[in-house]
Amino acid sequence: MIVRKKFAISVLIFGLFLIVYAPLQAEAAMVLTEDNISIGQEELIDDDLYLFGDTVVISGSVLGDAVIFARDVVIDGSIEGSLLAFSQAVRISGTVDGSIRGASNTVFLTGSTGRDLMMAANMIDVSGIINQDYLAAARSSTVTGSVGRNIRATMNRFEVDAPVGGDIFTVVSEFSFGPRAVVEGNVSYISREDAEVDQQAVIIGNIERSDPPVDERAVEPWRRVWRFIRPILSLMFLALLMALIFPGLTVGTAGTIKEQPLLSLGVGALFIFVWPFIAVFLLLTVIGIPAGITSMLLYAALLYISRVFAGYFLADLIFGRNKNIHPVWVALTGALILTLLIKIPYIGWAVNLAAVWFASGAFFVYLKTGTEKEKYRSESE
């Protein structure tokens, strides 16, 4: 009952937060949701901008930050704040006074950013100006513009043919410096191959290559064994705690999977796929950052704990109606069985997804139906 009350209070507080905060946020920013969104050259947005669409083009001026979720993003205007973009293709030929952050398949920067460029992408082409740092994780990247300070990157192929005002550190497979490269700091990179440095390239500091770390597991077989049994022991330990401290919640949630599988599946889908979007939305705001972080922590915790419920359900099916087996042994056996199933190649991911999907939904269903049943029993008594 204590855990249910705490959870109900948390949900209530979270719901009140969204009810109160959402109208305030709507007034404090411009939010547009359309297939094709275009901010014309003569348009001035004197506020933060949140855009959700298929194609987004900003040719005008945005005096605040811009947050964009779209398939194609084109920025040929100006943004006085920072840009956060999640897209298939991002093309920036205008100016962003703040930082540019996000993730995309391809990124083309021919304009400029007053601060950092921090992106995760398949390909990043920088022919414009980065006034501060370049931070990236990509399959390939080419820098032909300029970077005011440091570069930190993880790449498969990385080419630098531009001025860099600070140091470069990268983990890379193929690394090269073109004739226009001028690095004012040190270059440190982790690779199996030496970098290709053009004769006209200038590196003022030191250049140092380090070999990738040796896979110690190949040398010490016991590490492989430990890697195999560690998740088993972790889940079994959690199952032991849940069975001892919250036996009713554990048994009740597992029973809900069996009694109401479709409802558990539907509620689980809402939790798995909707909750993260709410948390990310909160993280994009200033006031909502604490709530967003808390939501993500709760989300990760429940995903892991739900495996205990799913394991108990599997073990209960195996033991059948044998009432002589203590719930602790059922929980431990279920944790062992589920972890071994998850480790099966090719199908383990599907087993894991099904387990957390059904069990997380059953958890919320049980919190509601279980509380109602206990209330009914208490009133009857």
pLDDT in tens, 183-235: 999 999 999 899 999 999 999 999 999 988 765 555 566 777 777 888 889 99
Q: Token pair of 315, please?
A: 């073990």
Domain boundaries, the chain: 31-210, 217-380
The two counts, helices (H) then strands (E), for the chain are 8, 26
Decide: residue 363, CB within 10 A, 0-12 exposed, 13-18 middle, 19+ buried: buried
Distance from C-alpha of 78 to C-alpha of 63, rounded to nearest angstrom = 8
Q: What is the pLDDT of residue 344?
A: 87
Q: Token pair of 261, please?
A: 């599988």
Closest CA to 357 of 269, 274, 298, 277: 269
- Ranges 8-12, 103-107, 227-231, 243-247: which has the least confidence: 8-12
pLDDT in tens, 29-88: 688 888 899 999 988 988 888 888 889 999 999 999 998 888 899 999 999 999 998 888
Decide: residue 377, CB within 10 A, 0-12 exposed, 13-18 middle, 19+ buried: exposed
Q: Token pair of 358, please?
A: 């059904």
Q: What is the pLDDT of residue 35?
A: 83
Tell me how long the chain is: 381
- The alpha carbon of residue 118 and the mean position of all alpha carbons in its chain are separated, in whole angstroms, by 15
Output the pTM of the full model. Answer: 0.56
Q: What is the pLDDT of residue 151?
A: 95
Distance from C-alpha of 279 to C-alpha of 302, rounded to nearest angstrom = 14
